Amino acid sequence: MNESSAVAVEQTAGFTISAVARRLGVAPATLRTWDRRYGVSPSLRTAGAHRRYTNADVALLQRMQALIVSGMPPADAARSAQTEAATPAGPSASRDAADLGEGLTPGAPVQAVPDPHRPPASGASEQRGLSRAATALDTEAAAKIIRRCVSRYGTAWAWDEVVSPVMRAIGRKYEKESAAGGAAAGIDVEHHLSHVIMRELVRHSEVTSAVNTRPVLLASAPDEQHTLPLYALAGALAERSIATRILGGRTPDAALAAAIRRTGPLAVFVWAQGVPSSDLAAAVPTMRPPVAVLVGGPGWQHCELPAGTHEVGDLAAAVSRITAATRGERV
């Protein structure tokens, strides 16, 4: 029997619990638990009284799994998935798919869509979902959560309420385990999630019709390798049609100065997580028209900044000042 025939026979006879577990990336014991506790059961029985999952059963399980990853408790996820399965497809089904990020063209810019409701006061539910997805190294699930948060409530909310708290929690766990002499468990989770976050933020930071004719340069201090805050700022500015150019991590002062002379930016933002070695007075040459210079990150808190340099405490403040610069207003 060739492979295509074998697949056809399996689909006709239904799927075994092992086959479905492999497809969902869970243990067979998890499916048995969902069956016993929540009634999400295989609906076929073979002649030998073996239970098998149909295509519809698998689709329901996938929907339930997606809801759990998004932060919904398993019992609620099971009820919701079963209700949806029993409801004829309609506009609401299309909206649900859009909420999960389905139907997006890979690589296409995802601009924030104004939500008629105010953002939640807390992203605790989204944090739980993203943490689960990150721990499972589930790229698609993590990407969908980030994408949904950004498109619903904007980059600033997604960054402050969901992405940053999860990254900090993972970092603390890794540091604690390392201090205890354990293996480097957790660094794989941190690096993988960083990659997913950066990919989604890059997608979101594309601007097709910019309001600024002079660029905004985003860089990290010379000894700073963290760059995710730069991509978050780029995404938040893109929502205001402000185009940016990211110079990346560990940007030497001389390289930043050369980029400023070459591009004549209207604003420069430099990030430092740790105490920077940067000499901003040398890194930012005097230009006409003048350049708005902003710094962000805890590393600058104990540094003496050159006159005219503005320290911003959070993403919203950076966006506000750079937006003012694009309008020709006083920063």
Tell me what pLDDT residue 243 has: 94
Q: Could you tell me which CATH class the domain 207-326 is placed in?
A: alpha beta
The per-residue pLDDT for range 282-322, each reduced to its tens digit, is 888 888 888 999 999 999 988 889 888 999 999 999 999 99
> Do β-strands 216-220 and 244-248 pair in parallel, antiparallel, or remain unpaired?
parallel
Q: Which residue would you say has higher pLDDT here, 17 or 69?
A: 17
**Helix (H/G/I), strand (E/B), else coil: 243:** coil
| Mean pLDDT of the region 215-240 | 94
Q: Tell which residue, 48, 114, 57, 50, has the closest CA to residue 82.
A: 57
Distance, CA of 181 to CA of 24 (rounded, Å): 34
| Mean pLDDT of the region 84-112 | 42
What is the sign, positive or negative, of the torsion defined by CA atoms of 294, 113, 73, 21? negative
Tell me what pLDDT residue 117 has: 43
Tell me what pLDDT residue 184 has: 58
Under 8 Å between Cβ of 135 and 171:
no
Q: Pick 124-203's CATH classification: 1.10.1660, 1.10.10, 1.10.1060, 1.10.1240.
A: 1.10.1240
Q: Could you tell me which CATH class the domain 3-84 is placed in?
A: mainly alpha
**Helix (H/G/I), strand (E/B), else coil: 125:** helix
Distance, CA of 34 to CA of 75 (rounded, Å): 9
> Do β-strands 44-45 and 216-220 pair in parallel, antiparallel, or remain unpaired?
unpaired
Tell me what pLDDT residue 183 has: 57
**Helix (H/G/I), strand (E/B), else coil: 142:** helix
Q: pLDDT > 70: what percent of the chain?
A: 82
pTM (global) more than 0.85? no
Amino acid at 32: R
Q: How many angstroms from the chain centroid is the CA of residue 150?
A: 8
What is the sign, positive or negative, of the torsion defined by CA atoms of 125, 122, 226, 167? negative
Q: Domain spans of the chain?
A: 3-84, 124-203, 207-326
H or E stretch at 293 = strand 292-296
The per-residue pLDDT for range 106-122, each reduced to its tens digit, is 333 334 433 434 667 77
| Equal CATH topology for 3-84 and 124-203 | no
